[in-house]
Amino acid sequence: RLGRCDVYATEFDLEADEFVPLPKGDVHKSKEVVQDVTLHDLDVANARPHGTGGNMTSLVGQLLKPKKTEITERLRQEVNTVVNDYIEQGIAELMPGVLFIDEVHMLDIECFTYLHRALESTISPVVILATNRGQCKVR
């Protein structure tokens, strides 16, 4: 806000505003939409089968019997390439998250190898491991 319009300069007001001339011309607005989306949301959205029929019966059939498909490694790589392209173009910004794993003493060696492989990625989150045991063997 720059001030008050000089048309109202003759009226008394308790606020001592600066009087400026009334602007002329068109009003231009710009709106920036920011949406937070996780990589899991993108994976699930791309893994969900899309219906081919546009009629109401196929829509009801999809709602009654939702088909679940797993997130494959190929799908994961495709989503990663799209996200990397968006980051290079400046459309998206990557913000690493935090993964908190409690009762980590219950994990076996296969879980730890999977976590280790996932942490080597460039888009890996910060991982916090917590347990209430002092020392224990990994199964």
Structure tokens at 38: 């996780």
Confidence of residue 33 (pLDDT cuts 50, 70, 90): confident
Instruction: Check residues 130 and 134 and name the one with the higher pLDDT.
Output: 130
Residue 123, pLDDT > 80, answer: no
Q: Are strands 4-5 and 19-20 parallel, antiparallel or unpaired?
A: parallel
Higher pLDDT, 20 or 67: 20
Distance between alpha carbon 16 and the CA centroid of its chain, in Å? 45
> For residue 119, is pLDDT > 80?
yes
- List the domain boundaries for the chain: 34-95, 96-139
- Cα(87)–Cα(45) distance, rounded to whole angstroms? 19
8 A C-beta contact, residue 73 and residue 101: no
Query: Does 1 have pLDDT greater than 80?
Result: no
- Is the distance from CB of 125 to CB of 96 less than 8 angstroms? yes
Kind of pairing, strands 19-20 and 98-101?
Answer: unpaired
Query: What's the confidence (pLDDT) of residue 102?
Result: 93
- Evaluate the CA torsion angle 42, 44, 49, 52 in order and state its sign: negative
pLDDT at 61: 59
Task: Determine which helix (DSSP H) or strand (DSSP E) holds 45, and give its type and residue range.
Answer: helix 39-47
pLDDT at 131 over 70: yes
Q: Which pLDDT value is given to residue 72?
A: 86
In eight-state DSSP terms, residue 7 is G
- The pLDDT of residue 89: 94
Q: What is the pLDDT of residues 52-103, one digit of tens each?
A: 555 555 556 556 666 667 888 898 889 889 989 999 999 898 888 899 999 9
- pLDDT value of position 57: 59
